[in-house]
Amino acid sequence: MSTVVAGVDPHLDTFTVAVCNANGRCIADETFGNDPDGFNQAARFAQRLGVGVWAVEGTGTYGRCLTDHITRTGGTVVEVPPRRTATTRRRVGGSKSDVIDATACARAHLETPLGVVTHNNEIEAIRVLVAWRQSLVDTQTQTICRIKARIRELDPPTAAHLRLESVRAWRRLIDYQPPIASPHADAIRDLVRYEAATAADRLTQIRLLERRIANQMPTQGQALIDRIYGIGPVSAAMILTHVSDITRFPTEAKFAMWAAAAPLDASSGRHQHHRHNRGGDRQMDRVLETAIRTQLAHHQPAADYIKHRRASGDTNRQAFRALKRHLARKIYRTLKQHTTTQPT
């Protein structure tokens, strides 16, 4: 395969391509429209320069259509995490432009080969459902905070004990009556009733999406649910959509580093210690920590593991990190065992 790499910085209407040789030197750049004509023009541009790999930032967002076009026509696309682009850009000067960002994408792959993108239709469908659910959950959380703040203006004890975790609780709030009568109280009453009716429907939709995600769960995701305590349908779906293709990680260590489950060495002199890896995928980091907290609350083997690590001299934080790495290892092995040829 050619060592010439095309880095791509995509946007809503356009995308910029910077072609770099094996030494990382940009030999050509061009901006195209983010549409079928632009894809064809970019393909001809890359072909003339002997491009072997496309390094694209945002293959699931603004770069999605371009990525699909390249893979359908036999090209190779690798996903460049935004943090890798930023790190590479800072190392060569820190300035920012579309061409510089595209060049940084190409150099990121040349420095450390990245995973090849393979779009799996099952996982892509799950990705849409997960994003839809997350958007609704975020809105629901904002609504809860807003309603509690308004009720607190009139009735602090009621606001303090308000639990809005079920559709029934929201339905009850539709009949909310303030403890006092005033124009201010009437305005809050009407707001609360409106928000409650909307939130009840929203929560119903969230539950429907969760059932749909569970029903459409691919084999790899179901294996995660069956084998690893603390991972349910939503967590499994989030893992699948962020990992996409486990084969892009050649080793468990590479996967752990990406998932923020591999602590970084922060030793100094005689003091040997490690710190949290903040450079990994934040969503995966959140999924792992949520699963671990569920295990520690309800799964005795996890508590025993922490106890064993503490007895070996680890601090609580070190023991937690070790359990996190252990969980990442189980996820990696489970996905590897259930990897099949990806349908396109």
Q: What is the pLDDT along the chain (344 residues), one digit of tens a residue?
A: 568 999 999 999 999 999 999 999 999 999 999 999 999 999 999 999 999 999 999 887 899 999 989 998 999 999 888 878 888 888 766 678 999 999 999 999 998 888 788 777 888 899 899 999 999 999 999 999 999 999 999 999 999 999 999 999 999 999 999 999 999 999 999 999 999 999 999 999 999 999 999 999 999 999 999 999 999 999 999 999 888 788 878 899 989 988 888 865 544 455 555 555 556 778 899 999 999 999 999 999 999 999 999 999 988 988 999 999 999 999 999 999 987 544 43
In this prediction, residue 273 carries a pLDDT of: 52
In this prediction, residue 283 carries a pLDDT of: 86
Q: How far apart are CA 77 and CA 88, in angstroms?
A: 19
Query: Amino acid identity of 227?
Result: R
Query: Amino acid identity of 204?
Result: T
CA angle 83-87-90, nearest 5°?
135
**Sign, CA torsion 263/79/252/302:** positive
**Are the beta carbons of 190 and 177 closer than 8 angstroms?**
no
Q: How far apart are CA 298 and CA 285, in angstroms?
A: 20
Please name the residues in contact with 231: beta carbons below 8 A apart, sequence gap of 6 or more.
224, 225, 239, 287, 291, 331
CATH dotted code for 5-111: 3.30.420.40
What pTM was estimated for this model as a whole? 0.76
- Tell me the β-bridge partners of 18: 7, 29
Strand 53-56 with 77-79, pairing = parallel
In this prediction, residue 245 carries a pLDDT of: 80
In this prediction, residue 293 carries a pLDDT of: 95
DSSP E strand boundaries for the chain: 5-10, 14-20, 26-33, 53-56, 77-79, 264-265, 274-275
Phi, psi of 78, deg, nearest 5: -115, 145
Q: How far apart are CA 183 and CA 189, in angstroms?
A: 10
Return the exposure string of 333-342: e unless at least 16 CB atoms fall within 10 Å of the residue's CB, then b: ebbeebeeee
